[in-house]
Protein backbone atom coordinates (compact mmCIF):
# COMPACT_ATOMS: atom_id res chain seq x y z
CA UNK A 1 0.00 0.00 0.00
CA UNK A 2 1.62 3.19 -1.17
CA UNK A 3 1.97 6.53 0.52
CA UNK A 4 -0.67 8.08 -1.68
CA UNK A 5 -3.39 5.64 -0.73
CA UNK A 6 -2.45 5.92 2.94
CA UNK A 7 -2.84 9.62 2.57
CA UNK A 8 -6.19 9.23 0.84
CA UNK A 9 -7.47 7.01 3.62
CA UNK A 10 -6.31 9.52 6.18
CA UNK A 11 -8.24 12.24 4.38
CA UNK A 12 -11.28 10.00 4.21
CA UNK A 13 -11.07 9.35 7.93
CA UNK A 14 -10.70 13.05 8.72
CA UNK A 15 -13.66 13.82 6.51
CA UNK A 16 -15.84 11.25 8.26
CA UNK A 17 -14.92 12.65 11.65
CA UNK A 18 -15.56 16.20 10.45
CA UNK A 19 -18.99 15.18 9.17
CA UNK A 20 -19.86 13.70 12.53
CA UNK A 21 -18.79 16.88 14.28
CA UNK A 22 -20.70 19.05 11.84
CA UNK A 23 -23.89 17.11 12.41
CA UNK A 24 -23.77 17.15 16.18
CA UNK A 25 -26.16 20.12 16.01
CA UNK A 26 -28.85 17.76 14.77
CA UNK A 27 -28.77 15.92 18.08
CA UNK A 28 -30.81 17.16 21.01
CA UNK A 29 -30.32 15.46 24.33
CA UNK A 30 -33.56 14.11 25.76
CA UNK A 31 -32.14 12.45 28.81
CA UNK A 32 -28.52 11.88 29.73
CA UNK A 33 -27.78 9.40 32.48
CA UNK A 34 -24.12 8.87 31.64
CA UNK A 35 -23.00 10.47 34.88
CA UNK A 36 -23.70 7.39 36.98
CA UNK A 37 -21.57 4.86 35.12
CA UNK A 38 -18.95 2.50 36.50
CA UNK A 39 -15.36 2.83 35.28
CA UNK A 40 -14.86 1.46 31.76
CA UNK A 41 -18.48 0.58 31.06
CA UNK A 42 -19.58 -1.57 28.13
CA UNK A 43 -21.79 0.68 25.99
CA UNK A 44 -24.37 0.06 23.28
CA UNK A 45 -24.97 2.68 20.55
CA UNK A 46 -28.17 2.55 18.50
CA UNK A 47 -30.17 4.69 16.09
CA UNK A 48 -33.84 3.87 15.65
CA UNK A 49 -37.16 4.97 14.30
CA UNK A 50 -40.50 3.51 15.32
CA UNK A 51 -39.28 0.33 16.96
CA UNK A 52 -41.48 0.40 20.04
CA UNK A 53 -42.51 -3.27 19.77
CA UNK A 54 -38.94 -4.46 19.51
CA UNK A 55 -37.40 -2.33 22.23
CA UNK A 56 -38.26 -4.32 25.37
CA UNK A 57 -36.60 -7.51 24.19
CA UNK A 58 -33.66 -5.62 22.72
CA UNK A 59 -32.92 -3.96 26.05
CA UNK A 60 -33.56 -7.17 27.97
CA UNK A 61 -31.18 -9.13 25.75
CA UNK A 62 -28.26 -6.76 26.09
CA UNK A 63 -28.89 -6.18 29.78
CA UNK A 64 -28.64 -9.94 30.09
CA UNK A 65 -25.20 -9.81 28.51
CA UNK A 66 -24.18 -7.22 31.07
CA UNK A 67 -24.21 -4.04 29.00
CA UNK A 68 -23.88 -1.07 31.34
CA UNK A 69 -25.56 1.63 29.30
CA UNK A 70 -27.44 2.32 26.06
CA UNK A 71 -26.84 5.48 24.05
CA UNK A 72 -29.74 5.82 21.65
CA UNK A 73 -30.66 8.24 18.91
CA UNK A 74 -34.33 8.52 18.06
CA UNK A 75 -34.94 9.62 14.51
CA UNK A 76 -38.45 10.98 14.83
CA UNK A 77 -40.42 8.02 16.16
CA UNK A 78 -44.13 8.56 16.57
CA UNK A 79 -45.02 5.16 18.01
CA UNK A 80 -44.02 5.79 21.62
CA UNK A 81 -40.42 4.58 21.28
CA UNK A 82 -39.10 7.88 22.52
CA UNK A 83 -41.14 8.00 25.71
CA UNK A 84 -40.45 4.36 26.43
CA UNK A 85 -36.70 4.83 26.12
CA UNK A 86 -36.67 8.06 28.10
CA UNK A 87 -38.05 6.12 31.08
CA UNK A 88 -35.38 3.42 31.06
CA UNK A 89 -32.84 3.82 33.87
CA UNK A 90 -29.88 2.69 31.75
CA UNK A 91 -30.64 4.65 28.58
CA UNK A 92 -29.39 8.03 27.47
CA UNK A 93 -31.46 9.37 24.62
CA UNK A 94 -30.99 11.92 21.87
CA UNK A 95 -33.47 13.27 19.35
CA UNK A 96 -32.38 13.62 15.76
CA UNK A 97 -35.06 15.10 13.60
CA UNK A 98 -32.89 15.55 10.53
CA UNK A 99 -32.61 13.24 7.55
CA UNK A 100 -31.49 9.70 8.26
CA UNK A 101 -30.10 9.34 4.75
CA UNK A 102 -28.08 12.52 4.90
CA UNK A 103 -26.49 11.54 8.17
CA UNK A 104 -24.98 8.46 6.54
CA UNK A 105 -27.91 6.35 7.81
CA UNK A 106 -27.38 7.57 11.32
CA UNK A 107 -23.64 6.88 11.40
CA UNK A 108 -22.71 10.56 11.69
CA UNK A 109 -24.79 10.85 14.86
CA UNK A 110 -23.48 7.61 16.28
CA UNK A 111 -19.90 8.57 15.52
CA UNK A 112 -20.32 11.83 17.30
CA UNK A 113 -21.60 9.99 20.38
CA UNK A 114 -18.80 7.45 20.09
CA UNK A 115 -16.26 10.26 20.05
CA UNK A 116 -17.91 12.00 22.91
CA UNK A 117 -18.63 9.07 25.24
CA UNK A 118 -16.87 6.04 23.81
CA UNK A 119 -13.22 6.97 24.25
CA UNK A 120 -11.34 4.13 25.91
CA UNK A 121 -14.48 2.02 26.35
CA UNK A 122 -15.78 -1.06 24.60
CA UNK A 123 -18.59 0.12 22.37
CA UNK A 124 -21.13 -2.05 20.61
CA UNK A 125 -22.92 -0.37 17.71
CA UNK A 126 -26.03 -2.32 16.71
CA UNK A 127 -29.50 -1.81 15.34
CA UNK A 128 -32.57 -2.73 17.34
CA UNK A 129 -32.96 -5.93 15.32
CA UNK A 130 -29.34 -7.10 15.74
CA UNK A 131 -28.46 -9.49 18.55
CA UNK A 132 -24.83 -10.24 19.27
CA UNK A 133 -23.88 -13.89 19.73
CA UNK A 134 -20.26 -14.71 20.58
CA UNK A 135 -18.41 -17.79 21.82
CA UNK A 136 -19.50 -18.76 25.34
CA UNK A 137 -22.19 -16.05 25.39
CA UNK A 138 -24.47 -18.31 27.41
CA UNK A 139 -21.98 -18.61 30.24
CA UNK A 140 -19.75 -15.55 29.94
CA UNK A 141 -21.03 -11.97 29.94
CA UNK A 142 -19.87 -9.41 27.40
CA UNK A 143 -17.42 -8.10 29.98
CA UNK A 144 -15.58 -11.42 29.94
CA UNK A 145 -15.14 -11.08 26.20
CA UNK A 146 -13.95 -7.47 26.34
CA UNK A 147 -11.56 -8.25 29.22
CA UNK A 148 -10.11 -11.07 27.17
CA UNK A 149 -9.83 -8.85 24.08
CA UNK A 150 -8.05 -6.28 26.22
CA UNK A 151 -5.66 -8.86 27.60
CA UNK A 152 -4.94 -10.09 24.08
CA UNK A 153 -4.36 -6.58 22.71
CA UNK A 154 -7.29 -6.89 20.31
CA UNK A 155 -9.12 -3.67 19.48
CA UNK A 156 -12.00 -4.84 17.29
CA UNK A 157 -14.27 -7.87 17.24
CA UNK A 158 -16.14 -8.90 14.11
CA UNK A 159 -19.65 -10.30 14.08
CA UNK A 160 -21.17 -10.96 10.71
CA UNK A 161 -24.84 -10.37 10.15
CA UNK A 162 -26.83 -13.58 10.06
CA UNK A 163 -30.30 -13.12 8.59
CA UNK A 164 -32.84 -15.11 10.56
CA UNK A 165 -36.21 -16.01 9.09
CA UNK A 166 -39.35 -17.90 9.99
CA UNK A 167 -40.61 -21.00 8.27
CA UNK A 168 -43.52 -20.02 6.11
CA UNK A 169 -44.85 -16.55 5.58
CA UNK A 170 -43.38 -14.14 8.14
CA UNK A 171 -46.67 -12.34 8.27
CA UNK A 172 -48.50 -15.33 9.67
CA UNK A 173 -46.75 -15.37 13.02
CA UNK A 174 -47.37 -12.29 15.08
CA UNK A 175 -44.37 -10.92 16.96
CA UNK A 176 -45.43 -9.90 20.44
CA UNK A 177 -43.74 -7.21 22.48
CA UNK A 178 -41.06 -8.66 24.73
CA UNK A 179 -40.94 -11.92 22.85
CA UNK A 180 -37.66 -13.48 21.75
CA UNK A 181 -37.81 -12.84 18.00
CA UNK A 182 -35.90 -16.04 17.35
CA UNK A 183 -38.82 -18.08 18.58
CA UNK A 184 -40.37 -17.07 15.27
CA UNK A 185 -37.39 -16.31 13.04
CA UNK A 186 -35.42 -19.37 14.03
CA UNK A 187 -33.94 -20.39 10.66
CA UNK A 188 -30.84 -19.29 8.80
CA UNK A 189 -28.62 -20.12 5.83
CA UNK A 190 -25.53 -21.93 7.03
CA UNK A 191 -23.13 -21.93 4.15
CA UNK A 192 -23.86 -19.77 1.11
CA UNK A 193 -21.72 -16.75 1.86
CA UNK A 194 -19.25 -15.20 -0.53
CA UNK A 195 -16.11 -13.57 0.78
CA UNK A 196 -13.91 -11.20 -1.16
CA UNK A 197 -11.06 -9.16 0.25
CA UNK A 198 -11.23 -5.40 -0.17
CA UNK A 199 -7.63 -4.31 -0.65
CA UNK A 200 -8.25 -0.61 -0.23
CA UNK A 201 -9.50 -0.94 3.35
CA UNK A 202 -8.13 -4.40 4.20
CA UNK A 203 -11.56 -5.70 5.17
CA UNK A 204 -13.50 -8.68 3.87
CA UNK A 205 -16.76 -8.22 2.00
CA UNK A 206 -19.24 -10.90 2.93
CA UNK A 207 -22.48 -11.30 1.03
CA UNK A 208 -25.02 -14.05 0.65
CA UNK A 209 -27.65 -15.59 2.87
CA UNK A 210 -31.37 -15.72 2.23
CA UNK A 211 -31.66 -12.17 0.96
CA UNK A 212 -29.08 -12.69 -1.77
CA UNK A 213 -30.64 -16.03 -2.64
CA UNK A 214 -34.18 -14.71 -2.86
CA UNK A 215 -34.21 -10.98 -3.53
CA UNK A 216 -31.14 -10.61 -5.73
CA UNK A 217 -31.13 -13.62 -8.06
CA UNK A 218 -29.98 -11.63 -11.06
CA UNK A 219 -27.57 -9.32 -9.32
CA UNK A 220 -25.64 -10.89 -6.46
CA UNK A 221 -23.28 -7.93 -6.36
CA UNK A 222 -26.12 -5.71 -5.16
CA UNK A 223 -26.93 -8.00 -2.24
CA UNK A 224 -26.34 -6.39 1.15
CA UNK A 225 -22.95 -6.61 2.86
CA UNK A 226 -22.99 -8.86 5.92
CA UNK A 227 -19.50 -8.24 7.33
CA UNK A 228 -19.68 -6.13 10.49
CA UNK A 229 -17.32 -4.90 13.15
CA UNK A 230 -19.78 -3.85 15.83
CA UNK A 231 -17.59 -4.17 18.94
CA UNK A 232 -14.70 -1.75 19.24
CA UNK A 233 -12.55 -0.35 21.98
CA UNK A 234 -13.17 3.17 20.81
CA UNK A 235 -10.53 5.82 20.29
CA UNK A 236 -11.08 9.35 19.03
CA UNK A 237 -9.26 8.89 15.72
CA UNK A 238 -11.43 5.94 14.73
CA UNK A 239 -14.18 6.15 12.14
CA UNK A 240 -16.83 3.83 10.79
CA UNK A 241 -16.73 4.07 7.00
CA UNK A 242 -19.86 2.36 5.80
CA UNK A 243 -22.37 1.51 8.50
CA UNK A 244 -20.37 -0.80 10.81
CA UNK A 245 -19.06 -2.76 7.83
CA UNK A 246 -15.58 -1.30 7.91
CA UNK A 247 -13.43 1.14 9.82
CA UNK A 248 -10.51 3.47 9.58
CA UNK A 249 -7.63 3.27 10.30
CA UNK A 250 -7.87 0.15 8.23
CA UNK A 251 -5.77 -1.96 10.63
CA UNK A 252 -8.98 -2.17 12.67
CA UNK A 253 -10.51 -4.23 9.87
CA UNK A 254 -8.00 -7.05 10.26
CA UNK A 255 -10.36 -9.15 12.31
CA UNK A 256 -9.40 -12.21 10.30
CA UNK A 257 -6.28 -14.34 10.27
CA UNK A 258 -4.41 -14.69 7.01
CA UNK A 259 -1.99 -17.47 7.87
CA UNK A 260 -4.55 -20.20 8.32
CA UNK A 261 -5.49 -19.74 11.97
CA UNK A 262 -8.84 -18.55 13.26
CA UNK A 263 -9.44 -15.39 15.23
CA UNK A 264 -12.32 -15.16 17.61
CA UNK A 265 -15.55 -13.83 16.08
CA UNK A 266 -19.28 -13.72 16.63
CA UNK A 267 -22.53 -13.18 14.77
CA UNK A 268 -25.24 -10.55 14.82
CA UNK A 269 -28.47 -12.51 14.61
CA UNK A 270 -30.65 -10.33 12.43
CA UNK A 271 -34.30 -10.35 13.43
CA UNK A 272 -35.39 -8.27 10.48
CA UNK A 273 -37.82 -10.72 8.97
CA UNK A 274 -40.73 -10.59 11.37
CA UNK A 275 -44.30 -9.58 10.87
CA UNK A 276 -43.54 -5.97 11.82
CA UNK A 277 -41.60 -5.75 8.58
CA UNK A 278 -44.39 -5.77 6.02
CA UNK A 279 -45.68 -2.51 7.43
CA UNK A 280 -42.24 -1.05 7.86
CA UNK A 281 -41.04 -1.90 4.35
CA UNK A 282 -44.03 -0.07 2.94
CA UNK A 283 -43.19 2.92 5.09
CA UNK A 284 -39.48 2.95 4.30
CA UNK A 285 -40.06 2.40 0.63
CA UNK A 286 -42.06 5.61 0.77
CA UNK A 287 -39.40 7.47 2.73
CA UNK A 288 -36.60 6.24 0.47
CA UNK A 289 -34.07 7.22 3.04
CA UNK A 290 -32.42 3.91 3.67
CA UNK A 291 -29.32 2.66 1.98
CA UNK A 292 -29.41 2.99 -1.82
CA UNK A 293 -32.43 5.18 -1.56
CA UNK A 294 -34.64 2.45 -0.23
CA UNK A 295 -33.69 0.16 -3.07
CA UNK A 296 -33.24 -2.76 -0.75
CA UNK A 297 -36.47 -2.09 1.06
CA UNK A 298 -38.29 -1.86 -2.24
CA UNK A 299 -36.88 -5.28 -3.06
CA UNK A 300 -38.10 -6.60 0.30
CA UNK A 301 -41.43 -5.03 -0.21
CA UNK A 302 -41.81 -6.74 -3.54
CA UNK A 303 -40.26 -9.93 -2.22
CA UNK A 304 -42.38 -10.04 0.87
CA UNK A 305 -45.59 -9.59 -0.99
CA UNK A 306 -44.67 -11.91 -3.85
CA UNK A 307 -42.87 -14.84 -2.32
CA UNK A 308 -42.10 -14.17 1.30
CA UNK A 309 -40.77 -17.59 2.28
CA UNK A 310 -37.00 -17.90 2.71
CA UNK A 311 -37.29 -21.36 4.14
CA UNK A 312 -35.93 -24.32 2.20
CA UNK A 313 -35.07 -27.84 3.17
CA UNK A 314 -31.43 -26.83 3.72
CA UNK A 315 -32.35 -24.10 6.19
CA UNK A 316 -30.71 -24.55 9.56
CA UNK A 317 -32.66 -24.15 12.79
CA UNK A 318 -30.83 -22.02 15.34
CA UNK A 319 -29.91 -23.61 18.63
CA UNK A 320 -26.88 -21.87 20.12
CA UNK A 321 -23.42 -20.38 19.53
CA UNK A 322 -21.81 -23.81 19.50
CA UNK A 323 -23.84 -24.69 16.44
CA UNK A 324 -22.60 -21.54 14.71
CA UNK A 325 -19.04 -22.46 15.61
CA UNK A 326 -19.43 -26.00 14.27
CA UNK A 327 -20.87 -24.62 11.06
CA UNK A 328 -17.87 -22.33 10.73
CA UNK A 329 -19.81 -19.08 10.95
CA UNK A 330 -18.07 -17.95 14.13
CA UNK A 331 -14.91 -19.03 15.92
CA UNK A 332 -13.59 -19.20 19.45
CA UNK A 333 -10.12 -18.36 18.17
CA UNK A 334 -7.75 -19.02 21.05
CA UNK A 335 -10.33 -18.10 23.65
CA UNK A 336 -10.98 -21.29 25.56
Partner 1 sequence: MTLGIVMLCHTALDRAAQVARHWAVAGCPVVLHVDAKVPAAEFGQLQTALADLTKIRFSRRFACEWGTWSLVEASQIAATAMLSEFPEVRHVYLTSGSCLPLRPVAELRAYLDSHPRTDFIESVMAGDVGWTVGGLDLERFTLRFPFSWRRQRKLFDAYVTVQRKLGIRRRIPAGITPHLGSQWWCLTRQSLSAVLESPDRAKYDDYFKRVWIPDESYFQTLIRLVSAKLESRSLTLAKFDVQGRPHIFYDDHRQLLRRSECFVARKIWPHAEGLYDSFLAQTPPRDVQPDPNPTGIDRLFSAAKDRRLAGRTGLYMQSRFPHASHGGDTCAAPYSVLAGFSALFENFADWLSRTSATKVHGHLFAPDRVEFAGNETVYAGGLSDNARHRDYNPRSFLTSLIWNTRGEHQSFQFAPADAQPIASFIAQDPNARVSLISGAFLVPLFQSNRNFGEIRAEAARLQKIEGEFLSLLRGPKTRARVRIWTLAEFIESPMAALQSLVSDIAPRSEMRVTEVPKLVDLQGFDQFLQNLRNQGMQLTLLGDLSAESGNAPRDQQPNRPYVVR
Q: What is the contact surface with partner 1 in residues (CB under 8 A)?
A: 136, 139-141, 143-144, 147-148, 151-153, 158-160, 189-197, 204, 206, 208-210, 212-213, 217-221, 227, 255-265, 312-315, 328-336
C-beta of 141: minimal distance to partner 1 in Å?
7
Nearer of residues 1 and 22 to partner 1, judged by Cβ: 1
Element (H, E) at 285: helix 276-287
C-beta of 323: minimal distance to partner 1 in Å?
13
In DSSP terms, 265 is beta-bridged to 331
C-beta of 87: minimal distance to partner 1 in Å?
29
Nearer of residues 29 and 153 to partner 1, judged by Cβ: 153
Nearer of residues 286 and 326 to partner 1, judged by Cβ: 326
C-beta of 292: minimal distance to partner 1 in Å?
18
Nearer of residues 107 and 229 to partner 1, judged by Cβ: 229
Mapped onto helix, strand or coil, the DSSP state of residue 246 is: strand
Nearer of residues 25 and 39 to partner 1, judged by Cβ: 39
C-beta of 271: minimal distance to partner 1 in Å?
18
Nearer of residues 187 and 300 to partner 1, judged by Cβ: 187
Q: Are strands 159-163 and 239-242 parallel, antiparallel or unpaired?
A: unpaired
Mapped onto helix, strand or coil, the DSSP state of residue 72 is: strand
Cα 172 from Cα 294, distance rounded (Å): 25
Give me the sign of the Cα torsion angle 105, 108, 112, 114: positive
How open is the CA angle 293-157-240, to the nearest 5 degrees? 35
Which phi and psi (to 5°) does residue 155 adopt? -100, -25
C-beta of 181: minimal distance to partner 1 in Å?
20
Nearer of residues 29 and 259 to partner 1, judged by Cβ: 259
Q: Which one, of 133, 162, 126, 128, lies nearest residue 56 by Cα?
A: 128
C-beta of 253: minimal distance to partner 1 in Å?
11
Which phi and psi (to 5°) does residue 53 adopt? -65, -35
Q: Which one, of 258, 257, 247, 227, lies nearest residue 332 by Cα?
A: 257
Q: Is the peptide bond before 116 cis (omega within 30 degrees of 0)?
A: no
Mapped onto helix, strand or coil, the DSSP state of residue 206 is: strand
Amino acid sequence: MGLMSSYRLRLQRRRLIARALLRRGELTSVVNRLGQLPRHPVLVFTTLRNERVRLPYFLQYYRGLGVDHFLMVDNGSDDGSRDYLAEQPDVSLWDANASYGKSRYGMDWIMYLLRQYGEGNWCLTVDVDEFLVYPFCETRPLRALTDWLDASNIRTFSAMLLDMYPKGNGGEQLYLEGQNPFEIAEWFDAGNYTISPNPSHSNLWIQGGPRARTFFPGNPKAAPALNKIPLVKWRRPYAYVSSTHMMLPRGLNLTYDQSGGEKASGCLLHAKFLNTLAEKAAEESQRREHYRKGHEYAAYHRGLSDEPDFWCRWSERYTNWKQLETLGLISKGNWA
